[in-house]
Homo-oligomer: A and B are copies of this chain.
């Protein structure tokens, strides 16, 4: 059986031996100090590089306060929300030479503690906590760590910096769009009432209708789960009644997908007879919907970028405004 063996790291000793010089000379060559010919210095460096030698940066970082890494903790194991946030953090910090390391903790407090300890052991400069619900904290208390913590798309303590999408403003834009399309009978088909985002989006829905002088009834808000199936069911319920809506604001893109499929199968034209707006701008769903889905984008990448920059300011000892930062959503108009 062929084998690979990595019993140890390449040490300065190994480099010196391979180059046929003393450890002191090898060290001077690699640290660009001491006296030797340019050729010797270049040769030792080449040997070190070929052997894959890395100076012991752990030892170096003992003398500096910064490790130029940020830990990202999440319980979003699908990554649908976390990976755009991570991409934004990386993009915002890469010019500062900072790398982002993601650890997923699921909803397991013990696992979370192990991973947080590993991050602290690595002397990360700070931690960003993120997740999949704005009303649930991660299963680990990050409030007493020795490094700064920023919360993004997850619940944080009151005295922390917490970045969330502005669900109300996003929902308001969705409903404004339906009103601008001259829709008169608008309903909201959304997820489980226990979710804060469901409450926020429903409140914005009612307020926007009220402001426009359109009727708002409790029956106009249908709560179910976050699935396509629920979109189908809700359409079946609405179309078994007397008066059908001409505008539907859905709590997420999957519900909207189910709604649009159900309408097409009933022969109801979208957007000719009914306009539909989703929420999330999950492109893999929104772009394949027929017609492509008009939906609200939470700008998670920008949220991540701002979270990274807030953390960097804290790491640098600069003051940062505490509390909730609500970042604007954007309506993406497609064909529905």
Contact A6 B315 (CB under 8 A): yes
With A4-B314, A229-B288 in contact, is A120–B87 under 8 Å at CB? no
Write out, one digit per residue, whether chain A residues 224-257 have a CB within 8 A of any chain B CB (1) or not (0). Answer: 0001110000000000000000000000001000
Chain B positions within 8 Å of A53 at CB level: 146
Contact A122 B69 (CB under 8 A): yes
Contact B2 A321 (CB under 8 A): yes
A323 to B2, CA, bound (A): 9
Chain B positions within 8 Å of A322 at CB level: 2-4
For residue A289, give the distance in angstroms from its CB to the closest CB of chain B.
9
Which of A98-106, A129-137, A174-182, A194-202 lies on the face that meets chain B?
A98-106
Chain B positions within 8 Å of A126 at CB level: 6
A240 to B319, CA, bound (A): 67
Residue in B4, B77, B120, B254 whose beta carbon sits within 8 Å of that of A83 in the complex: B77
Contact B68 A118 (CB under 8 A): yes
For residue A94, give the distance in angstroms from its CB to the closest CB of chain B.
7
Chain B positions within 8 Å of A122 at CB level: 67, 69, 101, 122
A24 on the interface (CB 8 Å rule)?
Answer: no
Which of A56-64, A185-193, A211-219 lies on the face that meets chain B?
A56-64
Contact A69 B118 (CB under 8 A): yes
A65 to B11, CA, bound (A): 12
Chain B positions within 8 Å of A79 at CB level: 78-80, 82-83
With A59-B62, A61-B58, A83-B104 in contact, is A146–B9 under 8 Å at CB? yes
Write out, one digit per residue, whether chain A residues 79-99 have a CB within 8 A of any chain B CB (1) or not (0). Answer: 110110011001000100101
A34 on the interface (CB 8 Å rule)?
Answer: no
A56 to B145, CA, bound (A): 14
Contact B114 A99 (CB under 8 A): yes
Contact A9 B65 (CB under 8 A): yes
Closest to A80 in B: B79
Which among A8, A77, A99, A315 has the greatest number of chain B C-beta atoms within 10 A? A99
A147 on the interface (CB 8 Å rule)?
Answer: yes
A291 to B122, CA, bound (A): 48
A153 to B288, CA, bound (A): 26
A10 on the interface (CB 8 Å rule)?
Answer: yes
A269 on the interface (CB 8 Å rule)?
Answer: no
Closest to A148 in B: B6
Contact B94 A87 (CB under 8 A): no
A228 to B265, CA, bound (A): 17
Contact B83 A97 (CB under 8 A): no
Residue in B8, B61, B86, B144 whose beta carbon sits within 8 Å of that of A104 in the complex: B86
**Can you list 25 pairs linking A and B with CB atoms under 8 Å apart?**
A3-B321, A4-B160, A5-B317, A6-B317, A8-B317, A50-B144, A53-B146, A54-B146, A56-B62, A58-B121, A58-B123, A67-B121, A69-B122, A77-B87, A78-B79, A78-B284, A79-B80, A79-B82, A90-B111, A99-B103, A99-B114, A101-B102, A102-B104, A122-B122, A265-B265
Can you name 10 extra interface pairs (CB under 8 A) apart from A2-B321, A99-B118? A4-B161, A6-B315, A52-B146, A54-B121, A59-B62, A68-B121, A78-B79, A101-B102, A101-B122, A102-B102
